[in-house]
Structure 1
Amino acid sequence: MELAYLYTKQRESFGRYCDFRNVDAKVLESIPCTDALENDYVRRRPMVTRLDTTPHMSEHEVNTERLVTKHSSMRHVEGGWPKDVDPAEQSDVQRFRKKAEKDDDYKQAVKCLGPVVDRALKQNNTINIYQDYFAHMGEAATTEQPSAKGLAVFRDPEPVKRTVSQIDWHPESPQKMAACYCILNFQDPKFASARLPANSYIWDVLNPNTPETTLKPASPLVCMRYNPKSVDQLVAGSYNGLISFFDLRKSGAAPAETSIIEHSHHDPVYDVFWISSKTGNQCCSVSTDGWMLWWDIRHLAQPTHKLLLTDKDGLAFGGSSMEYNTEAGPTKYLVGTEQGQCLV
């Protein structure tokens, strides 16, 4: 049922001015008091309410961007030398010193620094700056036994079990290392297998599952070294006596240069080292055939120098290891032999 009421008003009734007048008050409705509804009234019981005036707070957490840090260092051995002077070359150092000592400014500087050095020496003689004040105290006893924790295991991807003959850390990155894999047992039955792998690998410490770079020489590598002056270059010695040069900047896993077998070692190359040179391209290798060979990686057709390891009676020694350090002298080599002797 629809209820509707239509109210019609003429246009002249719209928009008229309201005229208010004062009139006398009159009662429109009066409801007197009565007791008839008193029994229906229900008195409300007291109620307890709690109010909290503490302001409402909200908590929000954010995480800032991670700050990536890295460690850097610099090795300072002796003085500050010009770019054209190699401190490892004695001839360059002596030539530069002679030129500097003839300079008048050098003489004046020594004259001015003389009293300062003399005063410092007198102070050091008066006070023993090297005195050990705690010499009478014994070492603190520790209950912990020395131990080492393995962080990662780098397994040879090849199914044939091979020996890790040498490991060399990257000179600039502590997260990379080069590992040589070879079977050093003479006439091992595994050599008869046509599937004997010759690969060696460069590993990343943070990823021990897969090698970062695979090196594929013609013969298994026994030793390998990074070039300290050019970290993208490696020199390696093979089981068949060859010297191989790898350049990681070039694509491919094969060596960039390899020596000729007629002018190489006739036994496995047990150690190889980069030696001090102006160009940084020279290296030295040692083998159990008794020869030390010096190489220039730009021309590996034949060695630049040869040296037969012999004693006073002319008996040849087989070189099994070698150590080279420029601090001991750029022309000094320490060679360990199969006969148990060390040669300098």
Structure 2
Amino acid sequence: MTEYDPLSAEVLDDPGPAHARLLAECPVHRFEGFEPPFYTLSRYEDVAWALKDTTTFSSRYGQGPRFTEERGMKSDPPMHTFFRRLVSKAFTPRAVAAMEPRIDGIVTDLIDAFVDRGEGDLHHELAYPLPTIVIAEMLGVPAEDRDRFKAWSDAWVTAMGSTTPELWADEIAEMRGYIHEHVAERQRRDAAGLALPDDLVSALVVAEEDGERLDAEGIVNVVRQLLVGGNETTTSLLTNALLRLTEQPGLLDRIREDPALAEVAVEESLRFDAPVLGLFRTTTCPVERHGVVIPEGEKVMLLYSAANRDPAVFEDPDVFSLDRAAHEVRRHLAFGFGIHVCLGAGLARLEGRIVLQQVARRLRDLEITAPPQRIEPFMLWGKATLPARWTPPS
């Protein structure tokens, strides 16, 4: 069995070499160093197959490494279908396109605040606040509470992949209590016939499907999933992309000269540095793959990041390139696949494109000045810091 420890310092620092070994030598791996132990599928064909087969690879017990009773959009059909249908209207291509002027304005304001300094941390001043502001506005979170929401979101994600999740129990309880309070207030207003704010939480409160409405707990679960899904992962997309674009001289110049290349850069970043390294499913029956039988009831990590660098699918997979063949550009699995494909993919792509276009235009001679720190959860891949300098505008 190929040695592979996703919790080791070596793999946390750079998972690429270890994932390459899995692809070449051990496409079905069992890791005993977590409780419960889990299997890992790494090849593109296997990961896509598992994502499509939701009957065999179930989300019922959570998409993290532990067994949890999942509700909301991360559950199996028909519950998944019900919740996703209620929320999907906010993320249609038309709805996302309508948000472009607002997102462009937020990015402009954020960069205005630091561009004249010629140096700063692009995580703290751009990549972190942008998606936090966007998803908070969609949910109707007051501006003064955004930092709290971000901290709670980070705590939830960190706890999901931690060996000591109890350390974040207080933050998670605070988050649930806060959401419950706001949902209950909207429900009281609705029952009294009063107008509700025009936001996604209000839409969930009044939404009906075949005469059925969500209860408070169901809304809390959906809001929590939207908050987490639209927050840390988009921040990681932005930091990952900016880091890679500064590693090769001339890439940001190309985007400045041809802004359409920002869309290619976003897709290549998602492929090369998947913000979610992988999510988990639970087997509902024994499954055989590559001569290995995965028993029923086992946690299986579907390793998007390895699948995105599978040489059977991508040419020169370990090269970050803005010249990737058109048929490969969006073939990555960074947003998942099938019924659980990320609902906010279009929004993340829009935020990424706008940031890269503005950075390429406004932060001339951009360079990273120190090695960035990695975010903590082993399932995720992004930077917690991104110190940089650039030539201030004259």
Shorter-chain TM-score range: under 0.3
**Greater share of residues in strand:** 1
Task: Between the two structures, name the one with larger relative contact order (CA 8 Å, sep ≥ 6).
Answer: 2
**Greater share of residues in helix:** 2
Q: Which has the larger radius of gyration?
A: 1
